[in-house]
Amino acid sequence: MQSFEALISFLFFVFVCSYIIPSFSYDTQANSLYHIQLAEDAWRVLYLRDNFKDFDDPSRPGLEKDLDIIKEQTGLCVFIDGIVFTSCRNSADKVHSKTVSITKTVIYDGQLTTLTLSLQT
Amino acid sequence: MNLSRSNKGIYLLSAFHRFSTLFLSGTVPNNSYAVPAIQVNKKSNKHGFMMFDALVSLLCIVMMAHYTISMVAYTSYSTSGYSHDQQVFNKLVMAADYSVKTGLARKSNGIKYPNWIDENAITETYAESIRRKTALDAIFISLDKPSQDFSVCIYRIVAVGDDRQIARLFVCGG
């Protein structure tokens, strides 16, 4: 009977260890700053390509095209809230991913407007 | 006790039956069906069970110790590897940020344009100066993907050329 108990104890020990010990290992990189930098990059490149020059123009064909290029090159989804723009039109894209957001101010409709650029990694 | 070969078999069968009955029902069966000629020493039988229990328990303890040591060694190894990769990653993030904002940024009329990269500034000399400052073993800075493997590789989104084409600046190292 004691051997049976010893076996059960061992199996319980293995079961508990299998759950607890892997949680002590660090297998994810601390990269939130890098993601914020990427979001700043996306904004900066859109700005350099004059996408916010005529932001009042509702069609903004250049902005949509550039977001597509960023998505194509990096695989990152870029969302601009306020005036909704996204490089991920497929709802299945990046469902379970991390999002970082930065806020920027632009002149829209003659007024200063705060936009949020979000990046899904 | 001197047992013949056939009696030894019966004795083992009897012991197995006693053990399985004890295991399943918790009661020790009487020995009425056993061969009357065999005198089973109860004290020695009890010692046998105790030895078996002790052996299995010892085996479990040894396996537990081995399992624990293996898991701790593996966790320690993966954590040290992670720590090194994280250090390289942090240095590359820093080097890439410096390059995008200052080191490789285009200048026009005394104004620097962050994220607008001067392609001609990406040279071996520049990469070597960054490698020395970051104290990395190797560094790779290019607008193209590296051909060789690096332990850590990051990129930044930049604009290149007079028409400000969207591109990636790769910064890799190890």
Q: What is the pLDDT of residue B120?
A: 93
Q: What is the pLDDT of residue B7?
A: 54
For residues A84, A85, A90 and A94, what is the CA-based torsion angle, rounded to 10 degrees?
-90
Q: Which of A17, A27, A37 sits opposite B156 (nearest CB)?
A: A37
Cβ–Cβ gap B93/A9 under 8 Å: no
* Contact by Cβ (8 Å): B173, B140: yes
Cβ–Cβ gap A45/B159 under 8 Å: yes
- Is pLDDT of B53 > 60? yes
Does B88 lie at the interface with A, CB-CB under 8 angstroms?
no
Q: Which of B22, B56, B72 sits opposite A7 (nearest CB)?
A: B56
Q: Residues of A numbered 62-121 whose beta carbons fall under 8 angstroms of chain B's beta carbons: which are they? A: 66, 69-70, 73-74
- Is pLDDT of B6 > 50? no
* Contact by Cβ (8 Å): B126, B103: yes
pTM: 0.66
Cβ–Cβ gap B56/A3 under 8 Å: yes
The strand pair at B165-173 and B152-160 is best described as antiparallel
Does A19 lie at the interface with B, CB-CB under 8 angstroms?
no
- Is pLDDT of B50 > 60? yes
Burial B52-82, CB ≥16 within 10 A → b, else e: ebeebbeebeeebeebeeebeeebeeeeeeb
Q: What is the pLDDT of residue A25?
A: 58
- Other beta carbons within 10 Å of B154: 21
Phi and psi dihedrals of A69, rounded to 5? Answer: -65, -40
* Contact by Cβ (8 Å): B7, B40: no
* Contact by Cβ (8 Å): A32, B85: no
Q: What is the pLDDT of residue B3?
A: 46
Does B71 lie at the interface with A, CB-CB under 8 angstroms?
yes
Q: What is the pLDDT of residue B103?
A: 93
Does A27 lie at the interface with B, CB-CB under 8 angstroms?
yes
Q: What is the pLDDT of residue B37?
A: 53
* Contact by Cβ (8 Å): A76, A120: yes
Chunk chain A into consecutive blocks of 10 residues (it has 121) and report each block's average pLDDT, rounded to whole numbers.
76 78 64 91 91 71 84 86 64 66 82 84 75
Q: Which of B60, B79, B164 sits opposite A25 (nearest CB)?
A: B79
pLDDT in tens, B129-168: 999 999 999 999 999 998 888 889 999 999 999 999 999 9
Element (H, E) at B142: strand B139-142
What ipTM was assigned to the predicted interfaces of this complex? 0.73
